[in-house]
A and B are shown apart, each in its own frame.
Chain A
Amino acid sequence: MWRGRRGWIPLLGPVALLFAIWHVAVVMSGSLIFPTPWQVAVGLVDLARQGLLLKHVVASLFRVTCGYLLAAALAIPVGMLMGWFATAHAFLNPLVQGLRPISPIAWIPLAILWFGVGDLSPIFLIFLSSFFPMVVGTAAGVMTIDRKYVRAARNFEYTGFRLFRSVVLPAALPQIVTGMRIGLGVAWLVVVAAEMIAVSSGLGYLIIDSRNAGNRYDLVVAGMFVIGVVGFLLDIVMRGLERLDEVRWRYET
Chain B
Amino acid sequence: MRPKIEVRSISKTFETRGGPVPVLDDLSFQVADGEFLAVIGPSGCGKSTLLSVLAGFERPDRGEVRVDDEPVREPRRTGMFIFQQPSLFPWLDLERNLVFGLNGESEETKRSLVAHYIKLVGLDGFERAFPNQLSGGMQQRAELARALMVKPEILYLDEPFGALDALTRLRMRVELLRILSRERHTVLLVTHDVEEALHLADRILVLSPRPARIQRMIEVTLPRPRALADPALIALKASILLELGVDERADLDR
Q: Which residues of A contact B (CB under 8 A)?
A: 146, 148-149, 151-157, 166-167, 170-171, 173, 245-247, 249-250, 252-253
Measured between alpha carbons, how far is A166 from B90 in the docked complex, in Å? Answer: 12
The 4 A-B pairs with the shortest beta carbon distances in the complex, nearest first, are: A249-B90, A156-B101, A152-B87, A148-B87
Measured between alpha carbons, how far is A152 from B91 in the docked complex, in Å? Answer: 14
20 A/B residue pairs, CB under 8 Å, sorted by A: A148-B83, A151-B75, A151-B81, A155-B55, A155-B75, A155-B101, A156-B77, A156-B100, A156-B150, A157-B75, A157-B77, A166-B100, A167-B89, A170-B89, A170-B91, A171-B89, A245-B91, A245-B130, A246-B91, A249-B91
Measured between alpha carbons, how far is A136 from B90 in the docked complex, in Å? Answer: 23
Measured between alpha carbons, how far is A250 from B87 in the docked complex, in Å? Answer: 14
| A154/B57 contact (C-beta < 8 A), A170-B89, A247-B91, A249-B130 known | yes
Q: Is B13 interfacial (CB-CB < 8 Å)? A: no
Q: Is B76 interfacial (CB-CB < 8 Å)? A: yes
Measured between alpha carbons, how far is A148 from B80 in the docked complex, in Å? Answer: 13
- List 8 extra interface pairs beyond A149-B89, A157-B77, A249-B132, CB under 8 A: A148-B83, A151-B75, A154-B75, A155-B79, A155-B101, A167-B89, A249-B131, A250-B90
A228 → B minimal CB distance (Å): 34
CB-defined contacts of B79 to chain A, threshold 8 Å:
155
CB-defined contacts of B85 to chain A, threshold 8 Å:
148
| Closest Cβ neighbor of B85 among chain A residues | A148
A248 → B minimal CB distance (Å): 8
Measured between alpha carbons, how far is A167 from B89 in the docked complex, in Å? Answer: 8
Q: 1/0 contact trace for B71-96 toward A, CB 8 Å?
A: 00011110111010101011110000
| Closest Cβ neighbor of A167 among chain B residues | B89
Q: 1/0 contact trace for B111-133 toward A, CB 8 Å?
A: 00000000000000000001110
Measured between alpha carbons, how far is A226 from B130 in the docked complex, in Å? Answer: 40
Interface contact B100-A173, CB-CB below 8 Å? no
CB-defined contacts of B91 to chain A, threshold 8 Å:
170-171, 173, 245-247, 249
Interface contact B57-A151, CB-CB below 8 Å? yes
| Closest Cβ neighbor of A170 among chain B residues | B91
Interface contact A155-B80, CB-CB below 8 Å? yes
CB-defined contacts of A148 to chain B, threshold 8 Å:
83, 85, 87
Measured between alpha carbons, how far is A249 from B94 in the docked complex, in Å? Answer: 13
Tell me which of B76, B101, B132, B150 contacts A253 (CB under 8 A): B132
Residue from A146, A153, A156 whose CB has the most chain B CB atoms within 10 Å = A156
A208 → B minimal CB distance (Å): 46
Interface contact A155-B132, CB-CB below 8 Å? no
CB-defined contacts of B92 to chain A, threshold 8 Å:
170
B231 → A minimal CB distance (Å): 40
CB-defined contacts of A156 to chain B, threshold 8 Å:
77, 100-101, 150
Measured between alpha carbons, how far is A156 from B74 in the docked complex, in Å? Answer: 11
| Closest Cβ neighbor of A157 among chain B residues | B77
Q: 1/0 contact trace for B173-216 toward A, CB 8 Å?
A: 00000000000000000000000000000000000000000000
Measured between alpha carbons, how far is A151 from B89 in the docked complex, in Å? Answer: 11
Measured between alpha carbons, how far is A153 from B91 in the docked complex, in Å? Answer: 14
B117 → A minimal CB distance (Å): 15
A167 → B minimal CB distance (Å): 7
A19 → B minimal CB distance (Å): 43
| Closest Cβ neighbor of B86 among chain A residues | A148
A27 → B minimal CB distance (Å): 55
A178 → B minimal CB distance (Å): 15
B76 → A minimal CB distance (Å): 7
| Closest Cβ neighbor of B150 among chain A residues | A156
A168 → B minimal CB distance (Å): 11
Measured between alpha carbons, how far is A171 from B88 in the docked complex, in Å? Answer: 11
B159 → A minimal CB distance (Å): 14
CB-defined contacts of B130 to chain A, threshold 8 Å:
245, 249
CB-defined contacts of A154 to chain B, threshold 8 Å:
57, 74-75
Measured between alpha carbons, how far is A170 from B131 in the docked complex, in Å? Answer: 15
| Closest Cβ neighbor of A146 among chain B residues | B87
A150 → B minimal CB distance (Å): 9
| Closest Cβ neighbor of A159 among chain B residues | B74
Measured between alpha carbons, how far is A155 from B148 in the docked complex, in Å? Answer: 12
A100 → B minimal CB distance (Å): 29
